[in-house]
Amino acid sequence: MKIPRASTVANTTLCLTPACLQIASEYAKSLSPNYKTLDPCTDFEELVCAGWKASHELRPDQGQTGTLDLISQAVDDTLRELIEGPYPGESSHSHFSPRNLDPPTISIDQQNFNTMQRAYNACMDETAISELGVKPIIGLLDELTATFTPSGDWSAAGEYLKRVGATLFMYMSIDSDPRDPDTLIIGIGPSSGIGLGSKAYYNDSDIVSEYREALTHVFRDVYPTGANPEDAEKWASSVVDFEAEIAKIMPELAELRAADVRRSYKPPGMLCVVIWSC
């Protein structure tokens, strides 16, 4: 059976506005230079993407790129230009500028800018960072070690790790209720931050062995004050064994990513909670 082609609309009006021309130009540049001779049924990707690939080579530090990556890079470049420049107190080229703020707000705005700039400069000072080395990490480890108690109570350690932004055994978030999007609920789930990323890796003896060896090298250079680096291998084994036990009770990745929220949804009661590991 032959499927009839759609009839051409005789009175079609082409959009020739600057915006339409720019968009059409972007589409044209993404096409293969030989798009007129290529069959879309056999080589569609080459036809529609060859031009884009030819003009967007990957940097050595990139594994992939795309339009959203380019937009993100453009935003980063703009932010970098702003934060590396002076406070725009005399800016008059933009309707939204500090000149339009009242004096008290300008003062606060400039203080916030200066704080952000100091933080940025500190992070970008590679010389100072190299001179500090692992000292800041040692300080954190010493503070964490001080939270441990002989009774084995981990609550203080957990509170400390949370305070410094470290990943704990579970996470909490506030999301829309899948059954009532106008209602916010608390979501609780297992952390995905175990060392090897996936529980399946802990069943592979070769991967576990390499992981234990890598941790041993790290622990020989980074350890709390007063600890003996000769115990690095023992520490590494303890960490790997502990993570392996955690991995056993974690749900599979496929289960975590399942679209069927009925398996993890708890009905509203005193508290609405989504528990992924239920």
Note the pLDDT tens digit of each residue in 57-85. Answer: 888 888 888 888 888 989 999 999 989 98
Q: Are residues 182 and 213 in the same domain?
A: no
Out of 112, 132, 152, a domain closes at: 132
Task: Give the pLDDT confidence score for residue 93 in this predicted structure.
Answer: 59
State whether 185 and 206 are in the same domain.
Answer: no
Whether 86 maps to a domain, the answer reads no
Residue 271 has pLDDT above 70, yes or no: no
Which domain range does residue 43 map to?
18-54
84-126, pLDDT tens digit by residue?
988 876 665 566 667 677 777 778 888 899 999 999 999 999 9
Contact 254, 264 (CB under 8 A): no
How many domains, in total, are found in the chain? 4
Which pLDDT score is estimated for 173? Answer: 80
Same domain, 242 and 261: no
Mean pLDDT of 258-269: 58
Distance between CA atoms of residues 30 and 111, nearest Å: 45
> Which of these, 258, 265, 278, 260, lies nearest to 183 by C-alpha position?
265
d(CA 183, CA 272): 10
The HSE-up count of residue 154 (CA atoms within 13 Å, CB side) is 5
Does any domain span residue 209? yes
Q: Which of 132, 147, 176 is the last residue of a domain?
A: 132
Size (the chain), residues: 278
Instruction: Looking at the structure, tell me whether residues 171 and 270 fall in a common domain.
Output: yes
Does 74 reside within a domain? no
108 in a domain, yes or no? Answer: yes
Q: Got the DSSP string for 124-149?
A: H-HHHHHHHTTHHHHHHHHHHHTT--
Rounded distance between C-alpha atoms, residue 268 and residue 36, angstroms: 59
pLDDT at 194 (0 to 100):
79
Do 30 and 105 fall into the same domain?
no
Of the residues 132, 157, 182, the one at which a domain ends: 132
- Among 49-53, 124-128, 248-252, the minimum mean pLDDT is found in 248-252
| The two structure tokens encoding residue 96 | 């939204």
- Mean pLDDT, the chain, rounded, equals 82
Taking only the tens place, the pLDDT of each residue in 168-182 is: 777 778 888 878 888
Please check whether residue 152 lies inside any domain of the structure: no
